[in-house]
Amino acid sequence: MKAKREALVSLFTAMREGKVDEDIIDLLLLINSIRGIYTTSSCSGRIGIIEEPALGAKPLSRWLIKVHREMEFEEAKRALEKAREGLIFLKSQPPIFHVVAEDLERAKKLHELGLASGFKYTTFKVISNRYLVEINATEYLTAPLGRDGEILVSDDYLHFAIEIGNSMLRRSKGRLPRLMKNFEKLREELGEDELFYELAEEFGIESAV
């Protein structure tokens, strides 16, 4: 499958350059080792503070801080000092995986797997003759903090918002081991992909599963 080869080359190149979230590398390798499926853009979950010029203006937004672990109050305060223009939000977002399946049967299995692993926002759709499954959870938080460089909340509120955001991130990341086990079962069912191991060896991916 030409598309899978291109996706694997992109993944392995990103791994070489340190651009892949470390806490989901093994899971991404596992998913891509399964016959007939592969990942595209995925994230291990994150929390941060973002500056948006206007509501919904995502392409023009600027992260003041973004981490894939729990965020500390002091680093949030330092990040807020960089705020200049636009609306300021604290955002916490769960892990999300985009997985392409080569046929409808595999897409349905991926959809069921995501739901069974606790990712209740899992959906799938057809895009350009591809079945794209989005494995996604419900723990999203967006809390307004200020506007145009002015912080309009107290330190107590910021502490509280970070505490809630960290808790949601911790909860959603806690489902990753279950997701891993379910993908291991799926690999037993669908089989392994020789292309994955061929390219992993070519790129020197030592942690390949």
Reading the chain (209 residues) residue by residue, the pLDDT tens digits are 789 999 999 999 999 999 999 999 999 999 999 999 999 999 999 999 999 998 877 778 999 999 999 999 999 999 999 999 999 999 999 999 999 999 999 999 999 999 999 999 999 999 888 899 999 999 999 999 999 999 999 999 999 999 999 999 999 999 999 999 999 999 999 999 999 999 999 999 875 56
Q: Is the dihedral of CA 136, 140, 175, 120 positive or negative?
A: negative
Which amino acid type is present at position 94?
Answer: P
CATH numeric code, 2-203: 3.30.1960.10
Domain ranges of the chain: 2-203
Contact between 34 and 190 (Cβ < 8 Å): yes
Give the separation between CA 158 and CA 181, rounded to whole angstroms. Answer: 36
The two counts, helices (H) then strands (E), for the chain are 7, 9
